[in-house]
């Protein structure tokens, strides 16, 4: 009889400089003996320059739930530089400085942030994985064949200004599926009459899964066992509690 493979969820604290798929590939290597070729996947891509929570499902019972986790709300903390724009809306491309006569006040920033809460339309970054005529948007943008993408609906539950010291602001974000942190930086800068690009992006939670549960790749054992994972029943309980906390509100 073939031994049953492990099944459950690993909450990874992905570092910068590595793609979500490369992080998943590394986890697959560490689980190759215990997962025994079972399916695995992750619940929502993080850009290579972003860090934080990446929920990985190992085994078919877990991967079947990944779409539900992808639909859960997300939390981020980002540092935004208001002194310029970049084509990629982050540090992947060169900064184009913006001349600012008078930096915005904290109150102006707070009032402007409030305009981005609720159900909003947001234009995804040109440097994104969205497909346009069969090609990834970022490929077209790097070839100077794409300047912008049409706006899409998304939901922002809350934006909180954590810190402000010109030209940098730190913002905590609680948002729904399909929200782009880099787009917030660009569109906020446009609304303020300043620049706006992300210096850093850190995802702090995906639904009920947060950094307190997360482990870095370097902290994982050489062979991932069932005890290293959040079990299916425990994950379902966490997801149900998350829905109850949000009052059944869709992400």
pLDDT digits (tens, 9 = 90+) for 156-193: 999 999 999 999 999 999 999 999 999 999 999 999 99
CB atoms within 10 A of CB 103: 15
pLDDT of residue 159: 98
Q: Name the residue ranges covered by the structural domains of the chain.
A: 8-71+207-245, 74-205
User: How far apart (Å, rounded) are the C-alpha atoms in residues 202 and 74?
Assistant: 11
Q: What CATH code is assigned to 74-205? A: 3.30.2350.10
User: How far apart (Å, rounded) are the C-alpha atoms in residues 160 and 168?
Assistant: 14
pLDDT of residue 30: 95
Residues tagged active-site: 47
pLDDT tens column, 37-55: 889 999 999 999 999 999 9
pLDDT of residue 243: 59
User: 112 by DSSP, 3-state: which?
Assistant: helix
Cβ atoms of 206 and 69 closer than 8 Å: yes
Q: What CATH code is assigned to 8-71+207-245? A: 3.30.70
User: How far apart (Å, rounded) are the C-alpha atoms in residues 47 and 36?
Assistant: 29
Low pLDDT (below 50) residues in the chain: 1-2, 244-245, 247-251
pLDDT of residue 125: 84
Q: What's the residue count for the chain?
A: 251
User: How far apart (Å, rounded) are the C-alpha atoms in residues 214 and 82?
Assistant: 31
Dihedral angle sign, alpha carbons of residues 143, 145, 147, 149: negative
Cβ atoms of 100 and 85 closer than 8 Å: no
- CA end-to-end span of the chain: 43
Residue 40, H or E segment: strand 40-42
User: How far is C-alpha 95 from the geometric centre of its chain's CA atoms?
Assistant: 22
């Amino acid at each position: 009889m073939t031994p049953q493979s492990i099944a459950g969820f690993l909450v990874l604290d992905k570092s910068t400089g590595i793609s979500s798929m490369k992080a998943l590939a590394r986890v697959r290597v560490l689980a190759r003996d215990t997962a025994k070729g079972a399916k695995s996947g992750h619940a929502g891509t993080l850009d290579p320059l972003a860090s934080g929570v990446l929920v990985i499902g190992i085994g078919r019972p877990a991967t079947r739930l990944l779409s539900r986790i992808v639909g859960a709300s997300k939390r981020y903390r980002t540092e935004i530089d208001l002194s310029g724009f970049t084509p990629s809306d982050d540090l992947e491309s060169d900064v184009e400085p913006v001349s600012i006569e008078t930096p915005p006040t904290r109150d102006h920033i707070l009032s402007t942030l409030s305009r981005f809460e609720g159900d909003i339309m947001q234009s995804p970054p040109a440097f994104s994985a969205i497909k346009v005529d069969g090609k990834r948007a970022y490929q077209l943008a790097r070839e100077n064949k794409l300047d912008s993408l049409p706006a899409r609906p998304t939901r922002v539950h809350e934006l909180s200004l954590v810190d402000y010291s010109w030209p940098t602001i730190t913002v905590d974000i609680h948002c729904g599926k399909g929200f782009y942190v880099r787009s917030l930086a660009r569109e906020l800068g446009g609304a303020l009459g300043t620049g706006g690009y992300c210096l850093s992006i850190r995802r702090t939670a995906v639904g009920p899964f947060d950094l307190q549960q997360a482990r870095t790749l370097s902290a994982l054992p050489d062979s991932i066992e069932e005890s290293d994972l959040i079990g299916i029943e425990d994950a379902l309980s966490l997801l149900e509690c998350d829905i109850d906390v949000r009052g059944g509100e869709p992400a």
